[in-house]
Structure 1
Amino acid sequence: MFPLKDSIPSERIPVINYLIILCSVLVFVYEKKLGDDLLSLFFLNYGIVPIKLFLPLDTVSLLEKIIPFITSIFIHGGFFHLLFNMYFLYVFGDNVEDEFGHIKYFLFYIFCGITAAISQIIMYPQSNIPMIGASGAIAGVMGAYFILFPHAKVKTLLFILIFITVIDVPAVVFLGLWFFIQFLNSMAQNTFEIVGGVAWWAHISGFVTGIIISIIYKIRKGY
């Protein structure tokens, strides 16, 4: 399933959402200008390498440990990694920004990205593979959408064997299935250090963080 658009139009221009997408694209363009060696170094320096966080400060400084928690959110490993992340953000992020407001939405996005990364680090603290990508932060946005817009519909591109169709799926169903798939994949992934790949636990944590923050937000707003 791939989301094409949702049924709720934005009431104002999602400035932060557009800026996040633009920043991510510009960083990716910069990555493409680096050679393989420099790109690997870029990932190591600005992605999160869990094992580096536990090295002494005279080996890896505190700043070098902290900065990647922000920079890694804007780095992607390939074109389709970027494309899928940014399109999901485009579909779901505008309404969440509409609800939270520009500044709170940005802080929410970064916070979800950080908590998602921390969860992945807790699960695989000895990993030496750089963690990059906005997936955890975007999962937080999707978790917020799940709570804030339960009656929305998502126009979805559906692949059934050799057939392709477009159907309207309730947002709670689409996002619930997405979360369930992330959970199944996390259970199937036994050793991140060996197989590498997707940080499934970051997706789960980001989504749950978005849900919790949105529930608190609705309670405080009296929804």
Structure 2
Amino acid sequence: MLPIRDHNPSGRTPYVTYTLIAINVLIFLAFNLSLGDGHALNVFYYDWGMVPLHISRGQDFYTLVTSQFLHGGIMHIGGNMLFLWIFGDNMEDEMGHIGFLIFYLVSGVFAALAQWIVEPSSTIVTIGASGAIAGVMGGYLLLFPKAKVDILLILIVFFRIFPIPAWVMLGVWFALQIGNGVVSDPDLGGVAYWAHAGGFMVGLILAIPTFLKLGGFSYWQVNHGKPPHPDAEYELTSSRIPRVRRK
């Protein structure tokens, strides 16, 4: 199940969201194309990614920010930028350009610190924008819990797009981060689940002032948890793959 868009149009051009996407993509292309996938690229990640042991030693605090702009592969950056594109514009719309940028970076810093708290002696490099984007998703859940999000369901040869409330999609995503974080071994590397979970919670908390500015729970009551404007409508079609009925 993959979210592909929401039905929540923004009222202004999300310049910061677009700029963050562009910076991430340009950095990925520049260093992956020039350094390849060998030793030089690994050294680059080690120098600019967040290494928990270094933070424990009081070193390389700048990597709490720089690590947010590094990605390890096409699927890594593609998935992250898709989520930022879906949810970032609405948060920027409500927070303003500068406010959203600060919110994004601070969420990313605390997401990295959440991963550090879980494994402070680890020498495994943590990279990716997913912690900051998780913060965006946490804030989105607070502001627009019933906004529609289109999900692409892929079951082998069956493809279907269907809308679900944001609180369902984001709630399931958050639960998966907690569950996978509990059962996974951080010493083996892989996905930084606790960075995701930590970023999500921090983003939700940091969005509270914006939520209160909009009216708090009365904002929910007036709009029933939906965006305060008409939903964007898309044509949803079922799979065009022909079906063969059994006799």
Structure exhibiting the larger radius of gyration computed from Cα positions: 2
TM-score normalised by structure 1 residue count: 0.92
| Structure-1 residue corresponding to 2:35 | 34
| Structure-2 residue corresponding to 1:51 | 53
Alignment partner of 1:209 is 2:202:
yes
Kindly provide the CA deviation profile for residues 73-122 of structure 1, in whole angstroms up to 9, marking residues without a partner as x.
Answer: 00000111000000010001000000100000000000000000001001
Structure 1 letter corresponding to 2:178: F
| In structure 1, C-alpha distance between the alignment counterparts of 2:131 and 2:202, rounded to whole Å | 10
| In structure 2, C-alpha distance between the alignment counterparts of 1:84 and 1:168, rounded to whole Å | 19
| Structure-1 residue corresponding to 2:10 | 10
| In structure 1, C-alpha distance between the alignment counterparts of 2:8 and 2:85, rounded to whole Å | 13
Deviation at residue 4 of structure 1 after TM alignment:
1.1
| Structure-2 residue corresponding to 1:146 | 141
| In structure 2, C-alpha distance between the alignment counterparts of 1:220 and 1:202, rounded to whole Å | 28
Structure 2 letter corresponding to 1:107: I
SS at match of 2:207: helix
| Structure-2 residue corresponding to 1:125 | 120
Deviation at residue 215 of structure 1 after TM alignment:
2.4
Structure 2 letter corresponding to 1:216: P
List runs of 5+ in structure 2 lacking aligned partners: 217-247
| Structure-2 residue corresponding to 1:101 | 96
Alignment partner of 1:163 is 2:164:
no
Deviation at residue 219 of structure 1 after TM alignment:
2.2
Match 1:219 to one of 199, 209, 212: 212
| In structure 1, C-alpha distance between the alignment counterparts of 2:215 and 2:147, rounded to whole Å | 20
Percent of paired sites with the same residue: 44
Match 2:79 to one of 68, 81, 84: 84
SS at match of 1:48: coil
| In structure 1, C-alpha distance between the alignment counterparts of 2:211 and 2:161, rounded to whole Å | 32
SS at match of 1:66: coil
List runs of 5+ in structure 1 lacking aligned partners: none
TM-score normalised by structure 2 residue count: 0.83
| In structure 2, C-alpha distance between the alignment counterparts of 1:220 and 1:98, rounded to whole Å | 13
RMSD, aligned α-carbons: 1.3
| In structure 2, C-alpha distance between the alignment counterparts of 1:164 and 1:126, rounded to whole Å | 44
Structure 2 letter corresponding to 1:26: L
SS at match of 2:18: helix
Deviation at residue 221 of structure 1 after TM alignment:
4.3
| Structure-2 residue corresponding to 1:176 | 171
Deviation at residue 162 of structure 1 after TM alignment:
4.4
Deviation at residue 53 of structure 1 after TM alignment:
2.2
| In structure 2, C-alpha distance between the alignment counterparts of 1:28 and 1:80, rounded to whole Å | 12
SS at match of 2:162: strand
Match 2:189 to one of 173, 196, 211: 196
Greater helix proportion: 1
